[in-house]
C-alpha cells in the first residue's frame, strides 16, 4: 500500500514538474519573441 502511494506521488510530482518546465519554456520563448518584436519595430 505504501509503495503504491509512493509511486502515485512520484508520478504526480513528475507531471507537476513537467508542466512547470513547459510553462517556464513557454514564458521564456514568449519573452524572447516579444523582445525581438520590439527590436524590429
Task: Give the pLDDT of residue 2.
Answer: 67
- pLDDT band at residue 12 under the 50/70/90 scheme: confident
Report the C-alpha gap between 29 and 41 in whole angstroms: 19
Residue in the block written with cell 514568449: 30
Report the C-alpha gap between 34 and 32 in whole angstroms: 5
What's the pTM value of the predicted model, to 2 decimals? 0.41
Task: Give the pLDDT of residue 41.
Answer: 66
Task: Give the pLDDT of residue 1.
Answer: 55
**For 18-40, what is each residue's pLDDT tens digit?**
888 888 888 887 888 778 878 77
Burial class for 12, CB neighbours closer than 10 Å (0-12, 13-18, 19+) = exposed
Domain spans, the chain: 1-41
Amino acid at each position: 500500500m505504501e509503495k503504491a502511494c509512493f509511486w502515485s506521488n512520484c508520478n504526480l510530482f513528475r507531471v507537476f514538474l513537467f508542466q512547470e518546465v513547459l510553462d517556464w519554456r513557454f514564458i521564456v520563448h514568449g519573452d524572447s519573441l516579444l523582445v525581438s518584436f520590439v527590436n524590429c519595430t
